[in-house]
Structure 1
């Protein structure tokens, strides 16, 4: 995505965090339905991304189109998106899709990192199954195949998929948006994998930690970040001393090398 679109999507994810947390799989399904509507009409996409129109005008169009058809949570998320700016009109549908996958991932995340890893594993297992068979690939891209037949075939190919994976897999085979179904499933899996970084604390230290120090560090980080984290500890003598922790986009750096770098920047500035 171009910079303007990425910034708009990031803003909605940040500003609507609580709304997304309250959403369920039904909301994700409605968001995917909105993607279908947007994909079907270039005129609608242009109308909802026209920078010459005020945000209130664009949200009014969304309310008129979806207000009686979707849950209030879904409508709130759609209104939040169309109030932002986009680099291209097609980016709006892509952003709605991202919100839908985010909702699905958050449902899996109710079981913490294990839930996200399970969802990613189930998606990638489906991708591998489809990718290993030309016959299956042809069946999933058969132009005459109906949505029910495609969903039935996908279910047979992924019998162990949970509700979250089932929704994403069905979406990929029924409405692949110009991609091969397995390619869209892989894109979904990449989004889920990116979300896992919120649960992994990448810790860089100068010396190896013994079991007691590692456990005290883990407990302290769990309290600091407010969730149970999985430690990924790397020993790097160049940090000199202290500790560097990264969880998702958040970094806590108390190493001596970081302090020296900061001092050098101050002196140079």
Structure 2
């Protein structure tokens, strides 16, 4: 959980620099990759995090440390983002890495916009989430940060096989494997799905069913919930054979569970209460 100072610093910095980052177009791919690399370095170097967030240290001094860290080869926008962040207040030193990662994801979304693949990436992330949902052993291996990052990336690539995911989807999936950041793998993918949904100005409706929804079902659900919420929605279709039948629909924190499993559980509770 981020403290108030960290939340404000992250939000204000991203709001102020968003137009500049968006205007970099396809350069945002390079910027996003640089920011993901910096996130990883910060996560593994506590002393550096403290040096960059120490309120008693002059900002110019921190920027000097930054230039030594990222060198002259970094994109100017990367340096501008990092310089802005080190000039802000943080509740905890570790929170600056969260902000850098947020900027990295933003950069990838702006690159996807420039390449015209934003919706495709959102859908592919949902497909990846659905594919891994019933593979707990595999997820455990992807979550295990005691295993070298390269081995986890190789495992992810083996799972994806010849899946023709967009390069943004693959990079985000790889980032989630390389640097778990104390999150479960599926949790990170869901977080990314939600960020893309908000970026597109839509609400994410997660629908869990025993078999894939067809196009007509997705369209009907989209129409119903767009009308109900009075703004566009994106249907995140999750396939989970264990639900047997019916649908589990989640809108934000609100869950409507009409699956066969949920009905059987309710029946069991009712019988038990009457016994």
Band the TM-score falls in, shorter-chain normalisation: 0.5 to 0.7
| Alignment correspondent of 1:256 | none
| Alignment correspondent of 2:133 | 131
Distance 1:79 1:135, change over 3 A: same
Q: How large is the Cα RMSD of the aligned pairs?
A: 2.6
Post-superposition offset of 1:9: 1.7
Q: What secondary structure does 1:51 align onto?
A: coil
Distance 1:52 1:40 in 2: 23
Post-superposition offset of 1:194: 1.6
Where do 4+ consecutive residues of structure 1 move more than 6 Å?
Answer: none
Are 1:95 and 2:93 matched, yes or no? Answer: no
Post-superposition offset of 1:20: 1.1
| Alignment correspondent of 1:60 | 64
Distance 1:9 1:138 in 2: 31
| Alignment correspondent of 1:250 | none
Larger Rg: 1
Contact kept? 1:62, 1:79, Cα under 8 Å: yes
Correspondence for 2:191 among 183, 187, 191? 187
Distance 1:235 1:47 in 2: 46
Are 1:120 and 2:122 matched, yes or no? Answer: yes
What CA deviation, in whole Å up to 9, does each residue of 1:125-161 have, x standing for no partner? Answer: 2122222112312332456644344223323434132
Distance 1:126 1:192, change over 3 A: same
What CA deviation, in whole Å up to 9, does each residue of 1:163-220 have, x standing for no partner? Answer: 11111001111221222222222222222122121x79xxxxxxxxxxxxxxxxxxxx
Distance 1:120 1:166 in 2: 12
Distance 1:59 1:138, change over 3 A: same
TM-score for both structures, normalised by structure 1:
0.67
Distance 2:18 2:143 in 1: 36
Which stretches in structure 2 are left out of the alignment for 5+ residues?
Answer: 204-225, 233-275
Distance 2:74 2:229 in 1: 51
| Alignment correspondent of 1:260 | none
Post-superposition offset of 1:98: 0.2
Post-superposition offset of 1:111: 5.9
Question: What pairs with 1:123-202 in structure 2 (closer than 5 Å)?
Answer: 123-142=125-144, 145-158=147-160, 159-197=163-201
| Alignment correspondent of 2:252 | none
What is the aligned residue count? 204
Higher alpha-carbon deviation: 41-50 or 178-187: 178-187
| Alignment correspondent of 1:13 | 14
Contact kept? 1:27, 1:71, Cα under 8 Å: yes
TM-score for both structures, normalised by structure 2:
0.66
